[in-house]
């Protein structure tokens, strides 16, 4: 037992000394590796590098390796940061400032007026007769670009813009844009891109029918605009026909509603409609009375007012006037009944037609 103990002790001491020598050797190797790594940093942050070396010399292999990796990442960050700063400095030095020059907007004004001598059309179809005054204005621009048009008037204005031509009897053809109240205070306002060498027509009119008065249009854009008032004609031939008459105590009476008391009756006049051209016609009334209109096919029987009835209207013509819009065939017989909304009402009235041909109204007894 004693011999074994004597033998064992030297072995342990020898192993311990050998381990210490290996540890010292590893520390020496680690210090050399660390020194090599630090020497490759190109002298960046010398004081920090010296502190790191001191710390590495006092720590184990694992601690030294960990600090070496951290230092490498930080240095890389510094180097990259320096590179970025240099790039920014270079770009800042070589960048040439750009000045944006905004062209000044030019305003052009046009003043005129709608009068009883102005041209007149149906702004909204159908209408019994043309009832809205308008002025057609040709526009010419010297520079292509966006232009804004705003009206100023005591009237409630309406504005339309057309390409090349404007047909009063086909007001949707060639229409680019339109507006009623976007300018505020019942004034039109719209913006459109206009090109040089192109004909545009601005139609200045009103929201309400039969309205006249002065107006001003202000155009704002990249260049002045030439305004020129023009007269326009329709490419389609529309004919106005008129017949004047009256309801009185001698006129025929009937029960318009189909359910009347013995003392309730409605005066009426019956007209045979003759046309020489088939097509769509507008037939309406003008009167101080609140009128009512009916169209019948072939015949009219006052005792059975719903029989053969094709169409009817009360206030479609505005101002409590009837307005009927229908296709009339030259080969078919049509009867127009002109009467009133209220019973026992008399007064003068006119029947006006508007269509591709003249209309003959023949009173029926």
Query: What is the rounded CA–CA span in Å between residue 310 and residue 228?
Result: 46
* Contact between 211 and 323 (Cβ < 8 Å): no
User: If you search the block for the tokens 């041209």, which residue do you land on?
Assistant: 119
307 has a pLDDT exceeding 60 = yes
**Domain total in the chain:** 3
Instruction: Tell me, yes or no, whether 221 and 269 share the same domain.
Output: no
Query: What is the rounded CA–CA span in Å between residue 161 and residue 176?
Result: 5
More confident residue, 232 or 92: 232
Of 41, 72, 94, which residue sits at a domain end? 94
* Contact between 216 and 231 (Cβ < 8 Å): no
Query: What is the rounded CA–CA span in Å between residue 226 and residue 142?
Result: 9
56 has a pLDDT exceeding 50 = no
Instruction: Tell me, yes or no, whether 133 and 211 share the same domain.
Output: yes
More confident residue, 117 or 42: 117
Residue 101 within a domain: no
Of 181, 210, 230, which residue sits at a domain end? 230
Instruction: Tell me, yes or no, whether 177 and 249 share the same domain.
Output: no
Query: What is the rounded CA–CA span in Å between residue 223 and residue 145?
Result: 8
Q: What is the mean pLDDT of residues 235-244?
A: 78
Query: What is the rounded CA–CA span in Å between residue 179 and residue 323?
Result: 26
Residue 305 within a domain: yes
- pTM (predicted TM-score): 0.46
Model pLDDT, residue 344: 93
14 has a pLDDT exceeding 70 = no
Q: What is the mean pLDDT of residues 226-238?
A: 81
Q: Across all residues in the chain, what is the average pLDDT?
A: 76
Query: Nearest Cα to 120, choosing from 112, 128, 129?
Result: 129
Query: What is the rounded CA–CA span in Å between residue 121 and residue 364?
Result: 31
More confident residue, 173 or 24: 173
Residue 117 within a domain: yes
Q: Would you state the structure tokens that stand for residue 134, as one six-digit string?
A: 């308008």
Residue 291 within a domain: yes
Residue 61 within a domain: yes
Q: What is the mean pLDDT of residues 99-110?
A: 71
Helices assigned H by DSSP within 147-239: none
159 has a pLDDT exceeding 80 = yes
269 has a pLDDT exceeding 60 = yes
Residue 100 within a domain: no
- Enumerate the β-bridge partners of residue 239: 355
**The domain spanning residue 208 has which CATH number?**
2.60.120.380
Instruction: Tell me, yes or no, whether 209 and 243 share the same domain.
Output: no
Residue 99 within a domain: no
In this structure, of 21-25, 89-93, 155-159, 239-243, the range with the lowest mean pLDDT score is 89-93
| Contacts for 142 with CB less than 8 Å, ≥ 6 apart | 196, 223, 224
Instruction: Tell me, yes or no, whether 189 and 257 share the same domain.
Output: no
Instruction: Tell me, yes or no, whether 347 and 284 share the same domain.
Output: yes
Model pLDDT, residue 266: 94
Cis ω before 126 (30° cut-off from 0):
yes
Torsion over CA: 120, 121, 123, 126 (sign): positive
Query: What is the rounded CA–CA span in Å between residue 182 and residue 278?
Result: 41
Q: Per-residue pLDDT tens for 2-12?
A: 334 433 333 33
Query: What is the rounded CA–CA span in Å between residue 270 and residue 111?
Result: 48
Instruction: Tell me, yes or no, whether 297 and 213 share the same domain.
Output: no
Q: Would you state the structure tokens that stand for residue 19, as one six-digit string?
A: 């381990």
83 has a pLDDT exceeding 80 = no
Percent of the chain clearing pLDDT 70 (strictly above): 69
Q: What is the mean pLDDT of residues 90-97?
A: 35
Instruction: Tell me, yes or no, whether 123 and 157 share the same domain.
Output: yes
Model pLDDT, residue 52: 36
Best mean pLDDT range from 9-13, 160-164, 257-261: 160-164
Q: What is the mean pLDDT of residues 250-267?
A: 87
Instruction: Tell me, yes or no, whether 213 and 256 share the same domain.
Output: no
Helices assigned H by DSSP within the chain: 2-39, 46-58, 61-94
Percent of the chain clearing pLDDT 90 (strictly above): 52
More confident residue, 96 or 308: 308
Residue 172 within a domain: yes
Instruction: Tell me, yes or no, whether 273 and 326 share the same domain.
Output: yes
Q: Per-residue pLDDT tens for 27-55?
A: 444 444 444 534 443 443 344 334 433 33
Instruction: Tell me, yes or no, whether 279 and 207 share the same domain.
Output: no
151 has a pLDDT exceeding 50 = yes
Instruction: Tell me, yes or no, whether 177 and 246 share the same domain.
Output: no
Q: Which domain holds residue 214?
A: 106-230
Model pLDDT, residue 340: 96
Of 69, 94, 119, which residue sits at a domain end? 94
């Amino acid at each position: 037992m004693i011999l074994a103990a004597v033998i064992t002790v030297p072995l342990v001491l020898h192993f311990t000394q050998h381990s210490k020598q290996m540890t010292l050797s590893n520390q020496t190797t680690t210090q050399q590796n660390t020194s090599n790594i630090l020497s490759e940093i190109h002298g960046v942050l010398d004081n920090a590098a010296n502190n790191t070396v001191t710390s590495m010399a006092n720590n184990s292999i694992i601690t030294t390796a960990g600090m070496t990796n951290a230092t490498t990442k930080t240095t890389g960050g510094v180097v990259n940061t320096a590179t970025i700063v240099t790039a920014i400095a270079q770009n800042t030095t070589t960048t040439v400032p750009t000045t944006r020059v905004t062209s000044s907007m030019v305003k052009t004004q046009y003043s005129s007026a709608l009068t009883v001598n102005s041209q007149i059309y149906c702004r909204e179809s159908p209408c019994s007769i043309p009832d809205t005054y308008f002025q057609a204005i040709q526009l010419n621009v010297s520079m292509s670009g966006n232009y804004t048009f705003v009206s100023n008037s005591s009237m409630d204005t309406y504005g339309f813009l057309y390409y090349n031509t404007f047909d009063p009897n086909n007001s949707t053809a060639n229409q680019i844009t339109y507006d009623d109240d976007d300018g505020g205070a019942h004034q039109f306002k719209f913006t459109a891109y206009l090109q040089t060498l192109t004909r545009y027509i601005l139609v200045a009119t009103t929201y309400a029918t039969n309205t006249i008065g002065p107006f001003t249009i202000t155009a704002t854009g990249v260049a002045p605009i030439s305004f020129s008032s023009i007269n326009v004609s329709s490419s389609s031939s529309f004919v106005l026909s008129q017949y004047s008459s009256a309801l009185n105590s001698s006129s025929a009476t009937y029960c318009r509603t189909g359910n009347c008391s013995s003392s309730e009756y409605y005066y009426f006049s019956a007209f045979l409609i003759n046309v020489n051209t088939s097509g769509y016609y507008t037939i309406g009334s003008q009167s101080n009375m609140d009128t009512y209109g009916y169209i019948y096919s072939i015949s009219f029987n006052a005792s059975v007012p719903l029989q053969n009835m094709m169409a009817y209207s009360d206030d479609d013509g505005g101002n409590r006037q009837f307005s009927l819009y229908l296709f009339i065939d030259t080969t078919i017989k049509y009867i127009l009944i002109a009467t009133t909304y209220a019973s026992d009402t008399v007064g003068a009235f006119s029947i006006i037609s508007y269509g591709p041909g003249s209309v003959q109204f023949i009173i029926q007894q």
